[in-house]
Amino acid sequence: MKAICFYFQIHQPFRLKRYRFFDIGNDHYYYDDFANDDIVTRIAQRSYIPAAESLLRMLEQHPKFRCALSISGVALEQCEQYVPEFIDLLKKLAATGRVEFLAETYAHSLSSLTDPEEFANQVKVHDNKIHELFGVKPQVLRNTELVYCDELAPQILSMGYKGVITEGAKHILGWKSPNYVYSAATAPKLKILLRNAKLSDDISRRFSNPDWEAYPLTADRYIDWIASTPPEEQIINLFMNLETFGEFQTRETGIFQFLEALPHFAQERGVEFWTPTEAVTKLKSVGELSIMHPISWTDEARDTSAWLGNKLQNEAFRKLYSVAERVRLCNDRRLKQDWYYLQAADHLFYMATKHLADGAAHSNFSPYETPFAAFTNYMNALSDFIVRVEEQYPLSIENEELNALLTTIRNQEREIETLNKEVASMRKNIEHFNEEHLLRENKVGAPVSTDAPEKESKPARKTCKTKAPAKKCATKKKSADKE
């Protein structure tokens, strides 16, 4: 049996406004709200919403259809703010039980390449956000831009994930096929799903290209390609941006009709649809796969040079994570929010000077005129952010010393909290004891024991009700003496 594993990525960064040198120290808000609102709303109307509606129809009409979505935390925040109707559609997809939501970094960051603690923290925060909105817990990880290497595997496994998805890069696979499940060389229990680059790009990049020899591509022809792969190749991983449908390939190309027709022809050819978790659960690994250096799904080189390929990018990357530990120590909500927004890999992507695989420049996807303008604008905002961090935790204090001081303070706070709880408990016990004591004293008609000591019976004589009988007894005694 052959199966298709469909995965769609959704991400939008918080784009920065024009932030000048003289704004440093004076303006702590870095974002272009107008641009963010305009871009997210436009893409949602043209792509996200109609694509989600297509997926809902496919799920309704084809009970065996399944797919997966991966949405960065910063994209979810913008969708909640600008297009909440799209969040409602995602909730409907989640309610079907046949759409899997994958784990990833909340900020769509490259923290996995430099700071394991930050990477783990962001993935956890993202998982919590997914569970809060959709009521599901991710089982498979998709790192930012499918970045993966051997060094990451043990940590990903220790975080509780069954599998990870990445690029089926030619220089890694060699003669091997991406249409199998592999296991990580450094953590054999972690399974790897590899993107079939050719079949994925046939949809995402070449679908509407009239110069392509397979143009126009139809759903039945596409499924025939998949069905004709060697029978032992059981899983075809098709990973792409959701913007493929309606944005990269416009509605006029027939991309939505193509997508909705796929399950019908797949069923005719005996091809199933599985989620990533189903794939790593049902299929055994055919062998270990070693990836010594980080790979991604971007550019012909399939490496990380799109974000860390020049001195500008590396300087910004180094400066950003130089304050990572201090930001994690703080409790300033606004500071932590800016920390996430500034980590988005897009800011580094805009600084790239190289060309993409199809010959287009990275600047074609950038709001800046040049990579140098992108670098200057980002570093100005980052400099102000670092000033704010330094105000709380001066850079003159070493990280180890600062961490020790904060640990001592937090231990003292916990000790004080424990003592306060003990004091509150003791006060409550004393109040309870006093209440019981007063209740015994004020009890009406309580029998008094003749064997009780004199001191114990005195309090009862002080009450107004015990005084009257005492006077009567005294009167009777006087009259008896007279007689």
Catalytic residues: 145
What are the beta bridge partners of residue 374? none
How many residues are there in the chain? 483
Among candidates 190, 181, 185, which has minimal Cα distance to 161?
Answer: 190
How open is the CA angle 169-170-176, to the nearest 5 degrees?
Answer: 105
Burial pattern 271-300, b for ≥16 Cβ within 10 A else e, equals bbbbbbbbbbeebebbeebebeebbbbbbe
- Residue 396 neighbours by CB under 8 Å, 6+ apart: none
In whole angstroms, how far apart are CA 388 and each of 379, 400, 407?
A: 14, 20, 21
Phi-psi region of 8 (alpha: psi -120 to 50; beta: other; left: phi over 0): beta
Burial pattern 170-207, b for ≥16 Cβ within 10 A else e, equals eebbeeeebbbbbbbbbbeebbbbbbbbebbbbbbbbb
Q: Could you write out the DSSP letters of every residue in 350-381? A: TT--SB-TTS-BGGGG-SSSSHHHHHHHHHHH
Among candidates 141, 124, 140, which has minimal Cα distance to 132?
Answer: 124
List the structure tokens of 220: 């039945």
How many CB atoms lie under 10 A from the CB of residue 448? 11
3-state secondary structure of 404: helix
